[in-house]
Chains A and B, each alone.
Chain A
Amino acid sequence: MNYPLWDVPFIGGGWVIGMTAIFHVLISQFAVGGGFYIAMAEQKALREGRKDWMDIVKKQSRFFLVLTAVFGTVSGVGIWFAIGLANPEATSTLIHNFVFGWAIEWVIFLVELATVLVYYYTWGRIADKLHLTVGWLYAIVSFFTLFIINGILSFKLTPGAAWLSVAGTGHEASMFWPAFFNPGYWPSLFIRMGICCTLAGAWSLVTCSRIGNDQLKLKTDMIGWTMKWLLPLFCTLPFLALWYWHQVPEAHRILASLGVNTVAPGIFTMVTRMIIVLLVSSVTLISVVYFFALRSPADFKLPQAVVIMFLALVVVGSMEYTREMLRKPFIVAEHMYSNGVRVKDIEKINKDGYLTHTLWIRDGSKTSVARGEAMYRGQCMACHTVDGYRPTRTLLAGRDRAAITNFLKVLRDHKPDSPYFRFMPPLVGTDEEVQALGDYLDTLTPKPAQP
């Protein structure tokens, strides 16, 4: 509407955000969990005077701290580019609302990067105790990067009644704190922290598995210590997950049941399926850690550690995907749909027209099909592509013009018993615009054979 559409072929703009964000979230979760792990490991090494332990910690810190700092920074900035291009409407809302939160986050990032560089390059060059303090400082600052971004991220699913009451009035920033510490904030923070620490433990197992048989005692000791780190996490994470699930709004939780009795296309069964993958992979992860790392640490090999790492990534990946899908059809729940349309604007748009308020329409919007295409680009391409991801052509296959009209009517009416109500925004615009959209969509679908 207010911005041009960033038309990314085949995968769609959403997946550009998705891929950048997945990369960044994984890296940063390693960094946050790793910060605490390294600090605690260094402390243990110092307290017990174990040089061999200290050497391993130093080796681990290269991945945890330096690699994550570099790739975390690059991908973090990448997210800014991606969301600004793919969903500027929502980005604008988030910026206007949380501008000081973002600013503080940047300061914390700078401190985090400074700390990690000092920590890595002064190893052995400054007093041990001082070095350990720098390590702890890194861990705490790193945690704060999560503490802050979590407010903004959790806001999207549960903005909270207080913020919603002023949304669209221009006074949103007055509700900064209720929006930041929204109903989903604490469950989200705790479970993310749990995941960060688990990932750190999984990476540590990779390092431990590579310790040679000439240092067998070190290997079994480190694996044992990592078990003490991982097992309490395995015990608490299910409860944290339940706590998180509990604060997901009821209307969104229902999405998880759509794939129970069917897997038919167009019914949005992905949430159910991802939850199945998540649950099974979590249990497998715990089992594999038990059967391989815990029971025979001396025998623990690199391929086994890689499998554990892979399973951890599957768990995290499926969890993040589920979390994203649960928020549908909104980008900011109950306020803005994924395609940028605000709930409060629907009446106005239906009266005035969607294209009337669209600043960026491609040239040639004089024919009905062209206007329909503009409608499609504005309202549908936030989540769909024509022939790539969630392809409209495939999803509408078999429908004739009357069927398309009927389908658009169902989307426009947006009744609670509509099969699309749970995961698609209402179609907005004047009757003429909706008709034009139908004309455009008609050009996409191969016609069924005439009886």
Chain B
Amino acid sequence: MSEQNETVSRRDFLKWVVAGVGACYAAAIGYPVLRFLTSPAEQAKILGAVKEVTVKDGHKLALGASMMFKFGSRPALLIHHKDGTWTALDAVCTHLGCTVAYQSDRNVIHCNCHGGEYDAQSGKNISGPPPRPLKQYVAKVVEDGVLVTRA
């Protein structure tokens, strides 16, 4: 009688072990799949967190000069063109994620990692490996700096 109970409880224990292992497998496979499926939502949330940034003293930038600033967690580039217009762009190269830089003498945005180049006004990828343009922001001069907002 007690042996029967013992066998039953051992069987139950093993059932729990199997269930546990099954749950671990489900988790080990399910976790990457879940993150895979929620990836765009996740990234949209990160990107959407910050809507605007005022670059302090940005309006003091000389003609043909540029400066780096942070838009949320991402590096960004502010350019004061020689013709007086302003460009603000996401500074993460669309190739492998290096930070790009503005070359004033050539009036082009250059990525030092693999030589990618972008148009300084529009951010369009014009040469080298980058597959897509840099994301543009809207830049407006205000009293104490330059207000940069999402396009």
Direct contact between the two chains A and B in their complex (CB within 8 A):
yes
Q: Which residues from chain A sit less than 8 Å from chain B, CB to CB?
A: 231, 260-261, 264, 266, 276, 279-280, 283, 286-287, 290, 294, 398-400, 402-403, 405-407, 417, 419, 448, 451
* A264 contact from B24, B32, B96, B129, Cβ within 8 A: B96
Determine the distance from Cα of A2 to Cα of B24 in the docked complex, in whole angstroms. Answer: 49
* A290 contact from B21, B75, B113, B129, Cβ within 8 A: B21
Determine the distance from Cα of A402 to Cα of B111 in the docked complex, in whole angstroms. Answer: 10
* A406 contact from B18, B25, B35, B112, Cβ within 8 A: B112
Let me know if A402 and B112 touch, CB within 8 A: yes
| CB-defined A-B contacts under 8 Å, sample of 24 | A231-B17, A261-B39, A264-B96, A264-B97, A276-B32, A280-B28, A283-B24, A287-B21, A287-B25, A290-B17, A290-B21, A294-B14, A399-B114, A399-B115, A402-B112, A403-B114, A406-B112, A406-B113, A407-B113, A448-B114, A448-B115, A448-B128, A451-B127, A451-B128
Supposing A283-B25, A290-B21 touch, asked if A419 and B97 sit within 8 A by C-beta, the answer is yes
Let me know if B35 and A260 touch, CB within 8 A: yes
Let me know if A400 and B21 touch, CB within 8 A: no
Let me know if B112 and A407 touch, CB within 8 A: yes
Determine the distance from Cα of A106 to Cα of B25 in the docked complex, in whole angstroms. Answer: 43
**How close is B76's CB to chain A, nearest CB, in angstroms?**
13
Point out the residues of chain A lying under 8 angstroms from B129, CB to CB: 398
Point out the residues of chain B lying under 8 angstroms from A276, CB to CB: 32
Point out the residues of chain A lying under 8 angstroms from B113, CB to CB: 398-399, 403, 406-407
Point out the residues of chain B lying under 8 angstroms from A405, CB to CB: 112
Residue of A nearest to B115 (CB): A448
Let me know if A279 and B112 touch, CB within 8 A: no
Let me know if B35 and A398 touch, CB within 8 A: no
**How close is B36's CB to chain A, nearest CB, in angstroms?**
10
Let me know if B114 and A283 touch, CB within 8 A: no
Let me know if B21 and A286 touch, CB within 8 A: yes
Supposing A260-B35, A261-B39 touch, asked if A400 and B115 sit within 8 A by C-beta, the answer is yes
In the complex, which range does the number of interface residues on chain B fall in?
Answer: 20 to 34
Q: Which residues from chain B sit less than 8 Å from chain A, CB to CB?
A: 14, 17-18, 21, 24-25, 28, 32, 35, 39, 75, 96-98, 101, 112-115, 127-129
B contacts with A: majority SS: mixed
Determine the distance from Cα of A400 to Cα of B101 in the docked complex, in whole angstroms. Answer: 15
**How close is B25's CB to chain A, nearest CB, in angstroms?**
5
Residue of B nearest to A284 (CB): B25
Residue of B nearest to A402 (CB): B112
Point out the residues of chain B lying under 8 angstroms from A399, CB to CB: 112-115
Point out the residues of chain A lying under 8 angstroms from B39, CB to CB: 261
The 10 A-B residue pairs whose C-beta atoms are closest, nearest first, are: A406-B112, A403-B112, A398-B114, A283-B24, A279-B28, A283-B25, A448-B115, A286-B21, A264-B96, A287-B21
Point out the residues of chain B lying under 8 angstroms from A283, CB to CB: 21, 24-25, 28
Residue of A nearest to B114 (CB): A398
Determine the distance from Cα of A417 to Cα of B91 in the docked complex, in whole angstroms. Answer: 14
Determine the distance from Cα of A407 to Cα of B99 in the docked complex, in whole angstroms. Answer: 11
Let me know if A403 and B25 touch, CB within 8 A: no
Max count, chain B CB within 10 A of own CB: residue among A290, A398, A419: A398
Determine the distance from Cα of A419 to Cα of B98 in the docked complex, in whole angstroms. Answer: 8
Determine the distance from Cα of A160 to Cα of B99 in the docked complex, in whole angstroms. Answer: 36
Point out the residues of chain B lying under 8 angstroms from A402, CB to CB: 112
Known: A402-B112, A451-B127; 8 extra A-B contacts, CB below 8 A, are: A261-B39, A266-B96, A283-B24, A286-B24, A403-B113, A406-B101, A407-B112, A419-B97
**How close is B66's CB to chain A, nearest CB, in angstroms?**
15
**How close is A17's CB to chain B, nearest CB, in angstroms?**
31
**How close is A2's CB to chain B, nearest CB, in angstroms?**
34
Determine the distance from Cα of A399 to Cα of B21 in the docked complex, in whole angstroms. Answer: 48
**How close is A233's CB to chain B, nearest CB, in angstroms?**
13
Let me know if B115 and A403 touch, CB within 8 A: yes
Point out the residues of chain B lying under 8 angstroms from A294, CB to CB: 14
**How close is B46's CB to chain A, nearest CB, in angstroms?**
11
Determine the distance from Cα of A360 to Cα of B115 in the docked complex, in whole angstroms. Answer: 36
Point out the residues of chain A lying under 8 angstroms from B75, CB to CB: 417
Residue of A nearest to B101 (CB): A406
Determine the distance from Cα of A287 to Cα of B32 in the docked complex, in whole angstroms. Answer: 20
Determine the distance from Cα of A286 to Cα of B18 in the docked complex, in whole angstroms. Answer: 9
Determine the distance from Cα of A9 to Cα of B21 in the docked complex, in whole angstroms. Answer: 44
Residue of A nearest to B25 (CB): A283
Point out the residues of chain A lying under 8 angstroms from B35, CB to CB: 260
**How close is A407's CB to chain B, nearest CB, in angstroms?**
7
**How close is B43's CB to chain A, nearest CB, in angstroms?**
9
Point out the residues of chain A lying under 8 angstroms from B128, CB to CB: 448, 451
**How close is A63's CB to chain B, nearest CB, in angstroms?**
29
Supposing A398-B114, A407-B113 touch, asked if A290 and B18 sit within 8 A by C-beta, the answer is yes
Residue of B nearest to A397 (CB): B114
**How close is B92's CB to chain A, nearest CB, in angstroms?**
10
Determine the distance from Cα of A264 to Cα of B97 in the docked complex, in whole angstroms. Answer: 10
Residue of A nearest to B29 (CB): A280
**How close is A46's CB to chain B, nearest CB, in angstroms?**
26
Determine the distance from Cα of A290 to Cα of B13 in the docked complex, in whole angstroms. Answer: 12
Residue of A nearest to B26 (CB): A283
Point out the residues of chain B lying under 8 angstroms from A287, CB to CB: 21, 25
Determine the distance from Cα of A181 to Cα of B37 in the docked complex, in whole angstroms. Answer: 44
Max count, chain A CB within 10 A of own CB: residue among B39, B96, B112, B129: B112
Residue of B nearest to A266 (CB): B96
